[in-house]
Amino acid sequence: MIIAEGGSTKLDIVIVDEQNEERRYSLPGINPFYQSTDEMVSTLKESQIRGEREDALKKVYYYGAGCAFEEQSNAIKECFKQAFHSEYVEVESDLLAAARGLFGDEKGIAAILGTGSNSGYYDGEKIVDNVSSLGFMLGDEGSGGYLGKRLISDILKGLTDKDLAEEFFREYQTSKEEIMENVYKKPFPNRYLAGFVPFIAKRIESAYINTLVMNSFREFFKRNVAHYDIYNTKQISFVGGVAQQFKRELSLVASQYGYKLKDVQKSPLENLINYHKSHK
Protein backbone atom coordinates (compact mmCIF):
# COMPACT_ATOMS: atom_id res chain seq x y z
CA MET A 1 0.00 0.00 0.00
CA ILE A 2 0.93 3.65 -0.42
CA ILE A 3 0.73 6.07 2.50
CA ALA A 4 1.09 9.61 1.14
CA GLU A 5 1.15 12.69 3.34
CA GLY A 6 1.95 16.24 2.44
CA GLY A 7 0.92 19.77 1.68
CA SER A 8 1.68 22.44 -0.86
CA THR A 9 5.45 22.29 -0.27
CA LYS A 10 6.28 18.57 -0.29
CA LEU A 11 4.71 15.13 -0.49
CA ASP A 12 6.15 12.22 1.53
CA ILE A 13 5.28 8.76 0.23
CA VAL A 14 5.85 5.44 1.98
CA ILE A 15 5.37 2.13 0.18
CA VAL A 16 4.53 -0.70 2.61
CA ASP A 17 4.71 -4.12 0.97
CA GLU A 18 3.17 -7.41 2.06
CA GLN A 19 6.19 -8.15 4.25
CA ASN A 20 5.70 -4.78 6.02
CA GLU A 21 8.96 -3.49 4.55
CA GLU A 22 9.00 0.24 3.86
CA ARG A 23 10.43 2.31 1.03
CA ARG A 24 10.27 6.09 1.14
CA TYR A 25 10.09 8.85 -1.43
CA SER A 26 9.96 12.62 -1.21
CA LEU A 27 8.19 14.57 -3.97
CA PRO A 28 7.25 18.20 -4.60
CA GLY A 29 3.90 19.01 -3.02
CA ILE A 30 0.64 18.74 -4.95
CA ASN A 31 -2.51 20.72 -4.26
CA PRO A 32 -5.75 20.49 -6.31
CA PHE A 33 -6.58 24.12 -5.52
CA TYR A 34 -3.45 25.36 -7.26
CA GLN A 35 -2.76 22.67 -9.88
CA SER A 36 -4.61 20.87 -12.64
CA THR A 37 -4.98 17.10 -12.61
CA ASP A 38 -2.47 16.84 -15.46
CA GLU A 39 0.12 18.83 -13.52
CA MET A 40 -0.30 16.62 -10.46
CA VAL A 41 -0.13 13.43 -12.54
CA SER A 42 3.13 14.67 -14.07
CA THR A 43 4.63 15.16 -10.60
CA LEU A 44 3.78 11.57 -9.67
CA LYS A 45 4.88 10.08 -12.98
CA GLU A 46 8.23 11.84 -12.88
CA SER A 47 9.06 10.23 -9.51
CA GLN A 48 10.95 6.97 -8.94
CA ILE A 49 7.77 5.39 -7.59
CA ARG A 50 6.87 4.18 -11.07
CA GLY A 51 9.58 1.57 -10.67
CA GLU A 52 7.71 -0.11 -7.80
CA ARG A 53 5.82 -3.37 -8.33
CA GLU A 54 2.21 -2.73 -9.33
CA ASP A 55 0.81 -4.81 -6.47
CA ALA A 56 2.44 -2.38 -4.00
CA LEU A 57 0.63 0.55 -5.62
CA LYS A 58 -2.90 -0.85 -5.72
CA LYS A 59 -4.10 0.64 -2.43
CA VAL A 60 -3.49 4.33 -1.60
CA TYR A 61 -4.14 6.29 1.59
CA TYR A 62 -3.58 9.92 0.73
CA TYR A 63 -3.63 12.79 3.21
CA GLY A 64 -3.12 16.28 1.87
CA ALA A 65 -3.90 19.96 1.74
CA GLY A 66 -6.83 21.09 -0.39
CA CYS A 67 -8.81 17.84 -0.06
CA ALA A 68 -11.76 18.97 2.03
CA PHE A 69 -14.16 19.16 -0.93
CA GLU A 70 -15.41 16.38 -3.21
CA GLU A 71 -14.14 17.94 -6.43
CA GLN A 72 -10.58 18.26 -5.12
CA SER A 73 -10.72 14.81 -3.52
CA ASN A 74 -11.78 13.26 -6.83
CA ALA A 75 -8.92 15.05 -8.60
CA ILE A 76 -6.40 13.42 -6.27
CA LYS A 77 -8.00 9.99 -6.78
CA GLU A 78 -7.75 10.43 -10.53
CA CYS A 79 -4.08 11.39 -10.24
CA PHE A 80 -3.08 8.13 -8.56
CA LYS A 81 -5.24 6.05 -10.86
CA GLN A 82 -3.65 7.63 -13.92
CA ALA A 83 -0.07 7.65 -12.60
CA PHE A 84 0.11 4.23 -10.92
CA HIS A 85 -3.11 2.40 -11.98
CA SER A 86 -4.10 2.27 -8.31
CA GLU A 87 -7.36 0.40 -7.73
CA TYR A 88 -8.34 1.87 -4.34
CA VAL A 89 -7.59 5.47 -3.37
CA GLU A 90 -8.77 6.91 -0.07
CA VAL A 91 -8.31 10.68 0.13
CA GLU A 92 -8.40 12.46 3.48
CA SER A 93 -7.43 15.90 4.68
CA ASP A 94 -4.02 16.78 6.09
CA LEU A 95 -5.93 17.61 9.27
CA LEU A 96 -7.04 13.99 9.73
CA ALA A 97 -3.42 12.96 9.12
CA ALA A 98 -2.36 15.30 11.91
CA ALA A 99 -5.06 13.99 14.25
CA ARG A 100 -4.26 10.32 13.63
CA GLY A 101 -0.56 11.03 13.97
CA LEU A 102 -0.97 13.02 17.17
CA PHE A 103 -3.72 11.06 18.92
CA GLY A 104 -4.12 7.63 17.30
CA ASP A 105 -7.44 6.42 18.68
CA GLU A 106 -7.65 9.07 21.43
CA LYS A 107 -9.63 12.34 21.44
CA GLY A 108 -8.17 15.84 21.22
CA ILE A 109 -7.74 19.17 19.43
CA ALA A 110 -5.37 18.68 16.51
CA ALA A 111 -3.78 21.62 14.72
CA ILE A 112 -1.45 22.28 11.80
CA LEU A 113 1.04 25.11 11.47
CA GLY A 114 3.11 24.60 8.35
CA THR A 115 2.95 26.32 4.99
CA GLY A 116 -0.77 26.62 5.77
CA SER A 117 -2.78 26.15 8.97
CA ASN A 118 -5.83 24.26 10.15
CA SER A 119 -7.41 22.82 13.29
CA GLY A 120 -10.17 20.47 14.37
CA TYR A 121 -11.63 18.40 17.17
CA TYR A 122 -10.91 14.67 16.73
CA ASP A 123 -13.09 12.05 18.40
CA GLY A 124 -10.55 9.23 18.10
CA GLU A 125 -11.77 8.20 14.66
CA LYS A 126 -12.61 11.27 12.60
CA ILE A 127 -12.67 15.07 12.68
CA VAL A 128 -16.09 15.98 14.09
CA ASP A 129 -15.66 19.75 14.19
CA ASN A 130 -13.54 22.08 12.10
CA VAL A 131 -13.24 25.83 11.76
CA SER A 132 -12.40 26.06 8.08
CA SER A 133 -8.89 27.23 7.35
CA LEU A 134 -10.23 29.14 4.30
CA GLY A 135 -6.81 28.85 2.69
CA PHE A 136 -4.08 31.37 2.02
CA MET A 137 -6.24 34.26 0.80
CA LEU A 138 -8.86 34.25 3.57
CA GLY A 139 -7.27 32.43 6.49
CA ASP A 140 -4.21 30.29 7.32
CA GLU A 141 -3.54 32.39 10.42
CA GLY A 142 -0.23 31.56 12.09
CA SER A 143 1.10 29.58 9.13
CA GLY A 144 4.36 30.03 7.28
CA GLY A 145 2.52 31.68 4.40
CA TYR A 146 0.77 34.02 6.83
CA LEU A 147 4.01 34.96 8.61
CA GLY A 148 5.74 35.60 5.29
CA LYS A 149 2.83 37.69 4.05
CA ARG A 150 2.86 39.89 7.13
CA LEU A 151 6.64 40.34 6.98
CA ILE A 152 6.68 41.23 3.27
CA SER A 153 3.70 43.55 3.60
CA ASP A 154 5.36 45.45 6.47
CA ILE A 155 8.68 45.69 4.64
CA LEU A 156 7.13 46.96 1.42
CA LYS A 157 4.92 49.46 3.28
CA GLY A 158 7.91 50.79 5.22
CA LEU A 159 6.55 49.62 8.59
CA THR A 160 9.74 47.88 9.72
CA ASP A 161 12.96 49.60 10.67
CA LYS A 162 15.32 50.40 7.82
CA ASP A 163 18.02 47.96 8.95
CA LEU A 164 15.66 44.98 8.85
CA ALA A 165 14.43 45.88 5.37
CA GLU A 166 17.99 46.25 4.12
CA GLU A 167 18.95 42.89 5.64
CA PHE A 168 16.00 41.27 3.90
CA PHE A 169 16.78 42.60 0.42
CA ARG A 170 20.47 41.85 0.86
CA GLU A 171 19.84 38.26 1.98
CA TYR A 172 17.32 37.38 -0.74
CA GLN A 173 18.69 39.56 -3.55
CA THR A 174 15.14 40.41 -4.63
CA SER A 175 13.02 43.47 -5.38
CA LYS A 176 9.48 44.70 -4.87
CA GLU A 177 8.70 43.90 -8.51
CA GLU A 178 9.96 40.34 -8.20
CA ILE A 179 8.02 39.81 -4.98
CA MET A 180 4.80 41.08 -6.54
CA GLU A 181 5.28 38.80 -9.54
CA ASN A 182 5.81 35.75 -7.31
CA VAL A 183 2.76 36.54 -5.19
CA TYR A 184 0.28 37.56 -7.90
CA LYS A 185 1.41 35.88 -11.11
CA LYS A 186 3.16 32.63 -10.21
CA PRO A 187 1.70 29.43 -8.68
CA PHE A 188 1.94 28.61 -4.98
CA PRO A 189 2.21 32.13 -3.49
CA ASN A 190 1.75 30.54 -0.05
CA ARG A 191 4.81 28.35 -0.59
CA TYR A 192 6.82 31.34 -1.84
CA LEU A 193 5.95 33.48 1.18
CA ALA A 194 6.51 30.61 3.61
CA GLY A 195 10.05 30.51 2.23
CA PHE A 196 10.83 33.60 4.30
CA VAL A 197 10.23 31.81 7.63
CA PRO A 198 13.97 31.10 8.09
CA PHE A 199 14.60 34.87 7.95
CA ILE A 200 11.99 35.32 10.69
CA ALA A 201 13.31 32.44 12.81
CA LYS A 202 16.87 33.79 12.81
CA ARG A 203 15.62 37.10 14.22
CA ILE A 204 13.03 35.84 16.71
CA GLU A 205 14.71 37.72 19.56
CA SER A 206 14.11 41.10 17.93
CA ALA A 207 11.09 42.99 19.27
CA TYR A 208 9.43 43.46 15.88
CA ILE A 209 9.82 39.82 14.74
CA ASN A 210 8.78 38.40 18.10
CA THR A 211 5.64 40.53 18.08
CA LEU A 212 4.85 39.50 14.49
CA VAL A 213 5.08 35.78 15.39
CA MET A 214 3.18 36.09 18.68
CA ASN A 215 0.39 38.14 17.11
CA SER A 216 0.07 35.66 14.24
CA PHE A 217 -0.33 32.80 16.72
CA ARG A 218 -2.84 34.86 18.73
CA GLU A 219 -4.87 35.27 15.54
CA PHE A 220 -4.78 31.50 15.07
CA PHE A 221 -6.10 30.82 18.58
CA LYS A 222 -8.65 33.63 18.55
CA ARG A 223 -10.10 32.88 15.12
CA ASN A 224 -9.87 29.09 15.19
CA VAL A 225 -9.05 27.25 18.40
CA ALA A 226 -11.39 29.17 20.74
CA HIS A 227 -14.31 27.59 18.87
CA TYR A 228 -13.52 24.18 20.42
CA ASP A 229 -14.11 25.35 24.00
CA ILE A 230 -17.45 23.52 23.83
CA TYR A 231 -15.57 20.21 24.13
CA ASN A 232 -14.25 21.07 27.60
CA THR A 233 -10.61 20.36 26.84
CA LYS A 234 -7.70 22.73 27.18
CA GLN A 235 -5.03 20.51 25.63
CA ILE A 236 -3.90 20.98 22.06
CA SER A 237 -1.26 19.29 19.89
CA PHE A 238 0.36 20.48 16.66
CA VAL A 239 2.14 19.19 13.60
CA GLY A 240 4.13 21.27 11.13
CA GLY A 241 7.47 22.94 10.64
CA VAL A 242 6.29 26.34 11.88
CA ALA A 243 4.88 24.82 15.08
CA GLN A 244 8.17 23.05 15.71
CA GLN A 245 10.33 26.06 14.80
CA PHE A 246 8.45 28.41 17.14
CA LYS A 247 7.43 25.95 19.86
CA ARG A 248 8.40 28.34 22.66
CA GLU A 249 6.31 31.20 21.29
CA LEU A 250 3.43 28.85 20.49
CA SER A 251 3.42 27.50 24.05
CA LEU A 252 3.33 31.04 25.46
CA VAL A 253 0.38 32.04 23.28
CA ALA A 254 -1.44 28.80 24.09
CA SER A 255 -1.12 29.52 27.81
CA GLN A 256 -2.41 33.08 27.27
CA TYR A 257 -5.61 31.53 25.90
CA GLY A 258 -5.81 28.95 28.69
CA TYR A 259 -4.50 25.98 26.67
CA LYS A 260 -1.68 23.55 27.38
CA LEU A 261 0.57 22.59 24.50
CA LYS A 262 0.68 18.80 24.78
CA ASP A 263 2.71 17.68 21.77
CA VAL A 264 4.45 19.14 18.72
CA GLN A 265 5.59 17.01 15.79
CA LYS A 266 7.21 18.22 12.61
CA SER A 267 5.39 15.52 10.63
CA PRO A 268 2.70 12.96 11.50
CA LEU A 269 4.09 10.46 8.99
CA GLU A 270 5.82 8.01 11.35
CA ASN A 271 2.73 7.61 13.51
CA LEU A 272 0.51 7.41 10.41
CA ILE A 273 2.50 4.43 9.17
CA ASN A 274 1.99 2.67 12.50
CA TYR A 275 -1.69 3.65 12.45
CA HIS A 276 -2.30 2.00 9.09
CA LYS A 277 -0.26 -1.06 9.91
CA SER A 278 -2.39 -1.60 13.01
CA HIS A 279 -5.69 -0.92 11.19
CA LYS A 280 -5.22 -3.28 8.23
Instruction: Give 215-258 as a DSSP string.
Output: HHHHHHHHHTGGGGGGG---EEEEESHHHHHTHHHHHHHHHHTT
Could you state, in order of their start, the residue ranges of all structural domains in the chain?
2-96+269-278, 105-137+215-265, 147-201
Q: pLDDT value at position 117?
A: 92
Q: For the chain, percent helix, then strand, then coil, each to nearest 5? A: 50, 20, 30
Give pTM, 2 decimals.
Answer: 0.81
Query: How many CB atoms are located within 10 Å of the residue 67 CB?
Result: 24
Q: pLDDT value at position 1?
A: 82
Q: pLDDT value at position 240?
A: 92
Contacts of 12 (CB under 8 A, 6+ apart): 4, 5, 6, 24, 25, 26, 27, 267, 269
Q: pLDDT value at position 8?
A: 64
**At residue 235, what is the residue type?**
Q
Contacts of 149 (CB under 8 A, 6+ apart): 193
Q: Which residues of the chain have pLDDT under 50?
A: none
Looking at 3.40.250.10, 3.40.50.2300, 3.30.9.10, 3.30.420.40, the CATH number of the domain 2-96+269-278 comes to 3.30.420.40
Distances (CA, A) of 145 to 163, 200, 260, 276: 23, 12, 25, 30
Taken in order 27, 145, 36, 31, the sign of the CA dihedral is positive
**What top-level class would CATH report for the domain 105-137+215-265?**
alpha beta
Fold classification of 147-201 (topology level): 1.10.720
Q: Do domains 2-96+269-278 and 105-137+215-265 have the same CATH topology?
A: yes
